[in-house]
Structure 1
Amino acid sequence: MSKNSKGFCSACLRDQLKCNRGKPKCDKCNERGTKCSYSFELKWGGRQYKDMSRSAGIPNTRFYKGALLVKDKRLIASKSTRRVRQFLQFGQEEISFASSFEKGYKVTVRQHKQGEKQQPKETLVFDNKTPVSLASPCDEVVPVTQTAPANMAPELVGLEPGKSSWEVSTFFDLFINETAKFFVAFNSQAFPNPYRTVLPQMALSCPTLMKLIIAFGAKHRKMIAMVDEEANYPSLEENGWPSEDFEYLGENLLNQALSELVEKLRNSRGRTDDSTIAIILLLSSIGIFFNDDRGNWRTHYNGAKRIVFNELEIDEKSGKHPIYYRKNSQPHFFVLRWFIYLDIVGPLSSGFFHSKSEEVPRPNLNFNWLYGENLDQSSMESLEDISPLNGMDMKLLSFLTRVSQLVMQKKTSSADQGNHFKIVSEAICLDYKISNHLQESEAQRDIVVKKLKALSDATMEKRLERYDILRTSNLIVGLTGILQLRRRIVEMAQDSDLVTQLVQKVTDLIRAKITVNSPTLSCMSFCFFTVGCELVDDSMSIHRNVYRDRLMSLWKKGVPSVLQAINVMEECWRLKKPWWVVLEEKDLDICLAF
């Protein structure tokens, strides 16, 4: 073969034959009937002498031999890596933070009782400067006008200046613009999402809270990448760059936040502020959202409960001091609403678990001042009687409070037959009250909507469309509360008419009104789970995809905890057992109180 073999086809080079470089096929390959192919040296762009060292200034990139490569691959994971990491624990450390939190919460309460008795009982100091009156349930609404900065400086979360600023801003922005949507039923300009406004503002003055927000965004970003098949860059993997977690930075921030919270509780001397409670509730939400043991939702929820009792000067044994549900936009009332929602919906979507932490009594929540007859009518006429934050009207929320309390009471009443019958009797009465409220309120709303539709206003049509979604959410949540009374408290059989008819009604509403892309999916996830688990009979199996598809839609949006809920739901269908029994038998403590 000729020494000058440049340009020979690959077959001639392999067999050491002289190639005439014929195109598209050389003579040798034609004679032998073999495949003829040529290798070409590819160059980027059409200008061979262009200065390849110059770049367009794209963030997080660098040039290597004329090719644009990603500099820091923390935000890229291969397809195989995503599949493996999907079910990994958040951290690898074996330190049990739960016990530290339990001790910290108890020490905080004990120190307060010993050293802070001079604090007036009618006030709550939430910023160590301004006392807030707790005596009156009505306070002036102060609108939130400030917004959090779009670009987050690393110095705000204890990082070196200029280090990882891009990731910090990215994860913070993701939480504000995407993750925060899962905490409310409907994002509305009339009712700004406090997780996008109030919570970030609180974080600006609390580095620990800011670290948690960024860590939350990092974990969510990782989950989005796991389920997004388009987030795969095999060519970059082949260049030898190591693949790192989306939450590389977030994990470090979460570790710091956990340690800082423990230290904060130890040194608080009984004095805690709203930011501390927000930190604990956000940790609980991390546990709920990601089903993560590092952010065990129940541990943090009970810790928050102790601190709330402590700050409100409530006797844990009696719990008589009421906590009023206020719509005010100040951080203090936002944190209390957050705690109240978790206190109500948490037990409705979790099983019976026996632990010393649950011996903390539940607070006495008061909603009475919120839903007087005049207020109900006026708010209904303005289409504001159903909160877009939780997808419920306040009267229904107060009823669900009692449903949640009965669920917890039923757990401890097994040995006391007299108390058991009392709880069942109250559940039957509550069933009637909720059913009657839903029927009457829906009839009133029909009248209001009929009048407003006659206006033929384009703006009003959009408001009515949104209002219809909220009405459906309110109705489904209310019917789910009735189902919990009948199944978990009264212990009606799954195949009884009062249960099957109720399940069918909820199913029809979901199929007709709640699409797989509905903005209310997250706030109704506990409804999808608890009602879907009742489809154990073969005659109801045709409806199973209605619930599975909507929970899977949340999974595809980066909410991993619903995947375990789907597994439990399918286990209920297979074993024909109640979902709370399956949870207890398998020692699973899931919660869908988003």
Structure 2
Amino acid sequence: MSVNSAPSPLTPGSSSAHASPGLRRLSVNYLLSGPAGDHASPRSSYDRFGGYRKVEDGCTIYGYDYGLPDLDIPKNDDNGAINPQTPAASMQSPSLSDAAWSPSQLYESPLEKPAFERGGYYARPVPIRIPLELEPLPAQLSDSPMNLIYFHHFLNHTARILVPHDCPDNPLKSTLPRIAVRNPNLLNLLLAYSASHRARLLSHPEPANRIATWLRDVFPSLRHSLSSNSPISNATLTTAIMLASRECINPDSLDVSIPWQQHLSIARQIIISRGGLKDKGDNGDPFVNFLARWFAYLDVIGSLSGFRNEAPLDDCYMSFDHDDDHSDDAYGFTIDCFFGFTNCCISLLARVARLARQCGAQRIDEEGNIDIHWQPGSEILEQAESLKEELSHSRHHIQRGCRHSNTGTEEDQTHSERTRLELQEMVSVNESFHLAGLIHLHRRVFCLPSSSPVIQENVKLVLKALSGVRRGGTAESSLLFPMFSAGCEATDPADREAILERLKLVEGLGMTYVRNARNLMEKSWETGKSWEGLVKGEFLG
């Protein structure tokens, strides 16, 4: 199927196409006031900060982000947004000192909140550190202190909670920013992503005018790329995937939003038109591999988020990199830092999603009413039995953890303990996603009731796996799908309370989709109905 022939919310003439940039929130006076930057000084405000800007540990430090509200344009004092002084010099507080500090020091500190817990990240002013490899920065960043704050916030916080294992190879804080600083549309999307997250993390209103300004050129550019006869670039595909991801995590943040399913459908059609996302061989592009993994996660978990969603792409369209010194089988059972589970697991979850969708089309009507007497045919049962065995085998078969860890180098005792804890977490996350797949298989394909002993056993095992994941760490933020899957089927009040408590902790990280999933889970408990009949487009992972 050609991507140009796919139904698209971005085609000229559709109502969504006219409204999609979200500018309906902007006041008439603001729109008539000229370009977005007119309210700011024409010269970079960093000219005044030259005496404070310094290079340290491969980064440029531009000043400090104090976590102040963004009053939105044109009201916010953008030029004064970055404080050039050290925390001790600019704030009289016994909790601040002249000692060198970075947010990573809050990670699992016994005396303070972890960096990823609500209130932990901005417990002290955050130094704005931009890696030298990203410089020289485009004017989009160098001429706007607020943009620089949001760019740094994405690098240092948002990108870290979007993956279960924030290792040095995290592509969201390395690969993506390197591409974004060379592509204005991708950079605008990254900034919008960060602004939504920062506002929700701090319980501030989102800067709607600023976000709308960033996005108003993204949609026309995407429409143009899709309608062009030229080959569709990686940047265009990345735009579609980023739009889908943003809507998954912070839905309805614009007056007129396009559902994540439609953005994901555009990305899916682009991939099909290109013959897939495959990156093998010595000359492979690591960015293509990153896109394949990002899309695959959204595609598979999105499909599992409701039977009306599209089935995930077949495995023949996707392939991921692997080390030359390991067999394909070994790589399949290596935990992927971006997924949080093995490549074998993502393929198995995709098969669960296809079967669940096939069964859901027969057992659930358009109003969400479920036929509790429906049973799958022999062919589906045969596939489900085989899949159950493979999930059970894969769950216990882990070749190794993160391929980027430094377990072979000499480390101090603290670093070694950190490595051990991270490996434990990765095993727990991998375990929980396999168990979630088994829960979906038993409930949505075998059609067992929630009270079934096998389902309740898997619920208990998910809770046991969760106990191996630190509270407030990056791994916890990636566990919505298994927590939701187990929580909806939990019948023991103590199990429900334990899962609800962990979900509320993750909710405090500033991601709207966690709140929406929690509300759906609690509605399922209150009504006694399956979440499948109640879901209204929520992204559940």
Is the shorter-chain TM-score for this pair beyond 0.5, marking a shared fold? yes
Deviations 1:446-481 (A, max 9, x none): 9xxxxx99x998354432221111011111111111
Aligned residue type for 1:193: N
Aligned residue type for 1:306: Q
Q: 1:377 to 1:403 in 2, by over 3 A?
A: closer
Partners of 1:565 and 1:325 in 2: CA distance:
37
1:299 aligns with 2:262: yes
Deviations 1:195-246 (A, max 9, x none): 111111222232111111111111112212217xxxxxxxxxxxxxxxx853
Aligned residue type for 2:216: N
Partners of 1:325 and 1:392 in 2: CA distance:
21
Partners of 2:390 and 2:281 in 1: CA distance:
23
1:287 aligns with 2:247: yes
Contact 2:138 2:181 in 1 (8 A): no
1:334 aligns with 2:295: no
Structure 2: gaps of 5 or more residues = 1-47, 51-67, 73-130, 365-373, 402-406
Deviations 1:124-148 (A, max 9, x none): xxxxxxxxxxxxxxxxxxxxx9843
Q: How is 1:181-192 mapped onto 2 (pairs within 5 angstroms)?
A: 181-189=160-168, 192=169
Deviations 1:477-502 (A, max 9, x none): 11111111101111111101111111
1:308 matched residue in structure 2: 271
C-alpha deviation, 1:421, in angstroms: 3.2
C-alpha deviation, 1:398, in angstroms: 2.3
Contact 1:396 1:478 in 2 (8 A): yes
- Largest Rg, 1 or 2: 1
Partners of 1:555 and 1:282 in 2: CA distance:
21
Partners of 1:150 and 1:514 in 2: CA distance:
39
2:209 matched residue in structure 1: 248
Partners of 2:452 and 2:500 in 1: CA distance:
23
1:433 aligns with 2:390: yes
Q: 1:335 to 1:498 in 2, by over 3 A?
A: same
Q: 1:578 to 1:412 in 2, by over 3 A?
A: closer
1:205 matched residue in structure 2: 182
Partners of 1:304 and 1:379 in 2: CA distance:
26
What secondary structure, in the 3-state scheme, does the structure 1 residue paired with 2:420 have?
A: helix
Match of 1:543 among 492, 495, 512: 495
1:220 aligns with 2:202: no
Partners of 2:482 and 2:307 in 1: CA distance:
18
What secondary structure, in the 3-state scheme, does the structure 2 residue paired with 1:271 have?
A: coil
Match of 2:235 among 256, 275, 293: 275
Deviations 1:404-424 (A, max 9, x none): 222233234569x99843223
Match of 1:515 among 452, 470, 485: 470
Partners of 1:464 and 1:388 in 2: CA distance:
15
What secondary structure, in the 3-state scheme, does the structure 1 residue paired with 2:241 have?
A: helix
What secondary structure, in the 3-state scheme, does the structure 1 residue paired with 2:216 have?
A: helix
Q: How is 1:98-497 mapped onto 2 (pairs within 5 angstroms)?
A: 147-149=133-135, 153-154=139-140, 162=143, 165-189=144-168, 192-226=169-203, 245-266=206-227, 268-292=228-252, 294-312=257-275, 330-348=286-304, 350-353=305-308, 358=310, 364-365=316-317, 375=327, 385-412=334-361, 420-439=377-396, 441=397, 458=413, 460-497=416-453
Q: 1:250 to 1:152 in 2, by over 3 A?
A: farther
Partners of 1:359 and 1:509 in 2: CA distance:
28
Match of 1:526 among 472, 476, 481: 481
Contact 2:292 2:319 in 1 (8 A): no
What secondary structure, in the 3-state scheme, does the structure 1 residue paired with 2:476 have?
A: coil
1:577 aligns with 2:538: no
What secondary structure, in the 3-state scheme, does the structure 2 residue paired with 1:185 have?
A: coil
Contact 2:293 2:339 in 1 (8 A): no
Contact 1:434 1:482 in 2 (8 A): yes
C-alpha deviation, 1:184, in angstroms: 1.3
What secondary structure, in the 3-state scheme, does the structure 1 residue paired with 2:186 have?
A: helix
Partners of 2:418 and 2:151 in 1: CA distance:
31
Contact 1:323 1:363 in 2 (8 A): no
Q: 1:180 to 1:556 in 2, by over 3 A?
A: same
Q: 1:391 to 1:369 in 2, by over 3 A?
A: closer
Q: 1:200 to 1:445 in 2, by over 3 A?
A: closer
Partners of 1:310 and 1:514 in 2: CA distance:
40
What secondary structure, in the 3-state scheme, does the structure 2 residue paired with 1:591 have?
A: coil
Contact 1:326 1:337 in 2 (8 A): no
Structure 1: gaps of 5 or more residues = 1-56, 60-72, 78-144, 228-243, 315-321, 447-451
Contact 1:151 1:169 in 2 (8 A): no
Partners of 2:444 and 2:239 in 1: CA distance:
32
1:125 matched residue in structure 2: none
Partners of 1:533 and 1:437 in 2: CA distance:
24
CA RMSD of aligned residues (A): 3.7
C-alpha deviation, 1:151, in angstroms: 5.7
Contact 1:325 1:365 in 2 (8 A): no
Q: 1:573 to 1:418 in 2, by over 3 A?
A: closer
Partners of 1:562 and 1:344 in 2: CA distance:
18
Aligned residue type for 2:345: L
C-alpha deviation, 1:360, in angstroms: 9.5
Aligned residue type for 1:216: Y
Partners of 1:193 and 1:332 in 2: CA distance:
14
1:137 matched residue in structure 2: none
Partners of 2:155 and 2:258 in 1: CA distance:
20
Contact 1:472 1:509 in 2 (8 A): yes
Partners of 1:302 and 1:437 in 2: CA distance:
29
1:75 aligns with 2:70: yes
Contact 1:529 1:569 in 2 (8 A): yes
Q: 1:74 to 1:262 in 2, by over 3 A?
A: farther
1:127 matched residue in structure 2: none
Partners of 2:132 and 2:328 in 1: CA distance:
30
Contact 1:147 1:197 in 2 (8 A): no
Partners of 1:437 and 1:402 in 2: CA distance:
14
With the length of structure 1 as denominator, give the TM-score of the two structures: 0.60
Q: 1:505 to 1:150 in 2, by over 3 A?
A: farther
Partners of 1:554 and 1:481 in 2: CA distance:
21
1:46 matched residue in structure 2: none
Contact 1:215 1:253 in 2 (8 A): yes
Count of residue pairs the alignment pairs up:
399
Deviations 1:480-530 (A, max 9, x none): 1111110111111110111111111111221x2123313112322111111
What secondary structure, in the 3-state scheme, does the structure 2 residue paired with 1:341 have?
A: helix
Aligned residue type for 1:492: L
